[in-house]
């Protein structure tokens, strides 16, 4: 076979391959677009300690749902960036359930809590400022890093809120392995100039998203991490794996005269991890820590209105606004008791 004939043959195969790829890509976009939960990669940047964090600014990206977030100059998910002059400085720690993934920003539980605490007579007064420090895919290790960073930056909080989640142990495992530091986010030194084109290929194309998803599944399996749908119910609560972080926060609160309120995002009806909610509730009772017991209120609504969905019907899932209202109320109860005692 001559070189010219070989070149023509290779050119023909490349043309056929390219047309096939374009055809498949267009077909997937039209018929079966893949929406990946967790946020738009362009909104994040590399962080040497945490692996990644949000960029500052306002973000409103649309996939099969609106992903909205306002990150102030300090790096917290708040519409304000001035936290002085308050009566109580409140840190809300957690992952996507605290961040408010899958919802308009004002539907997150920290913002609802802020409005609830600061409008006792119907007029807003910023006396009890709730700083939203939650971010999707943060486990206990990252939560403590975030706490210490913003304690030094903003000041010692008067109230510490912790909302754990049943994927926190997996998030810790991926963080400790260095997997979180390999995210294709802006400024990641592992990729250099290739970061932007790789991020576009793996997050901006339907073929790339599927390849990246399979790569992530393989990596998580090597670390012993499984998707929630494939998880078997465990008799050992995930909350037990977070005990060291929770007890660190308890000691921190005791040393500084702060109020600690703990809660768990997944209720007893969450099949892969049905025991964490009750375990943490009992731990809180035994250790004299306030517990945000939101589940009974949500269940009372569901009994009266069983057709009312508790979770969103898009790829990100998570709770609807009305559930976050109950979570906010549960956290507000011990905080309000503290506010009332301050007024006496």
Domains in the chain (CATH in brackets) are 56-176+231-343 (3.40.50.1110)
Q: What is the mean pLDDT of the chain?
A: 91
Distance between CA atoms of 77 and 56, rounded to whole angstroms?
Answer: 9
The pLDDT value given to residue 203: 87
What percent of the chain has a predicted confidence (pLDDT) above 90? 68
What is the predicted pLDDT for the residue at 332?
98
CB of 134 closer than 8 Å to CB of 77? yes
Q: Taking 90 as the threshold, does the pLDDT of residue 334 lie above it?
A: yes
Task: Enumerate the β-bridge partners of residue 319.
Answer: 311
**pLDDT for the residue numbered 227:** 65
Residue pair 162/94 in contact (Cβ under 8 Å)? The answer is yes
Average pLDDT over residues 78-101: 92
In whole angstroms, what is the distance from residue 85 CA to residue 212 CA? 46
Give backbone dihedrals phi and psi of 240, rounded to 5 degrees, phi first. -60, -35
- Rounded to whole angstroms, the Cα distance separating 163 from 187 reads 29
Sign of the torsion angle spanned by Cα atoms 296, 298, 301, 306: negative
Which 8-state DSSP code applies to residue 319? Answer: B
Cα-based distances in Å from 65 to 28, 81, 106: 18, 27, 15
Distance CA 265, CA 280 (A): 11
For residues 101 and 316, what is the distance between their CA atoms, to the nearest angstrom? 7
Give the Cβ contact number of residue 261 at 10 Å.
24
User: Measuring CA to CA, how many Å separate 330 from each of 47, 111, 158?
Assistant: 33, 14, 18
Query: Which residue's entry shows tokens 């997050």?
Result: 203
> Using one digit for the tens of pLDDT, what is the confidence trace for 169-208?
999 999 999 999 999 999 999 999 999 999 888 888 989 8
Inform me whether the pLDDT recorded for 2 exceeds 70.
no
Task: Say how far apart CA 76 and CA 106 lie, in whole Å.
Answer: 14
């Amino acid at each position: 076979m001559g070189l010219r004939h070989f070149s023509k043959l290779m050119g023909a195969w490349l043309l056929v391959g390219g047309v096939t790829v374009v055809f498949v890509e267009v077909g997937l976009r039209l018929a079966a677009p893949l929406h990946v939960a967790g946020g738009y990669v362009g909104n994040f940047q590399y962080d040497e300690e945490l692996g990644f964090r949000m960029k500052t600014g306002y973000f409103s990206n649309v996939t099969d749902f609106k992903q909205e977030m306002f990150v102030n100059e300090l790096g917290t998910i708040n519409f304000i960036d001035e936290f002085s002059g308050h009566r109580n400085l409140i840190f809300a720690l957690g992952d996507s359930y605290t961040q408010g993934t899958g919802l308009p920003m004002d539907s997150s539980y920290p913002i609802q809590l802020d409005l609830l605490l600061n409008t006792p007579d119907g007029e807003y007064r910023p006396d009890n400022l709730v700083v939203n420090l939650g971010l999707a895919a943060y486990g206990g290790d990252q939560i403590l890093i975030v706490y210490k960073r913003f304690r030094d930056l903003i000041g010692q909080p008067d109230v510490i809120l912790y909302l754990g989640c049943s994927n926190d142990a997996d998030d810790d495992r991926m963080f400790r392995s260095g997997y979180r530091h390999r995210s294709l986010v802006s400024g990641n030194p592992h990729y250099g100039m290739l970061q932007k084109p790789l991020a576009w290929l793996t997050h901006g194309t339907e073929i790339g998203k599927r390849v990246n998803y399979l790569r992530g599944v393989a990596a998580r399996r090597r670390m012993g991490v499984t998707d929630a749908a494939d998880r078997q119910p465990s008799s050992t609560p995930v909350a037990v794996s977070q005990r060291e972080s929770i007890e660190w926060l308890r000691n921190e609160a005791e040393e500084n005269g702060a109020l600690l309120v703990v809660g768990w995002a997944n209720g007893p009806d969450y099949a892969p991890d049905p025991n964490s909610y009750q375990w943490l509730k009992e731990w809180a009772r035994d250790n004299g820590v306030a517990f945000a017991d939101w589940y009974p209120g949500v269940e009372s609504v569901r009994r009266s209105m069983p057709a009312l969905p508790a979770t969103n019907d898009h790829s990100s899932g998570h709770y609807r606004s009305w559930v976050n209202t109950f979570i906010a109320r549960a956290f507000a109860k011990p905080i309000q008791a503290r506010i009332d005692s301050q007024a006496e």
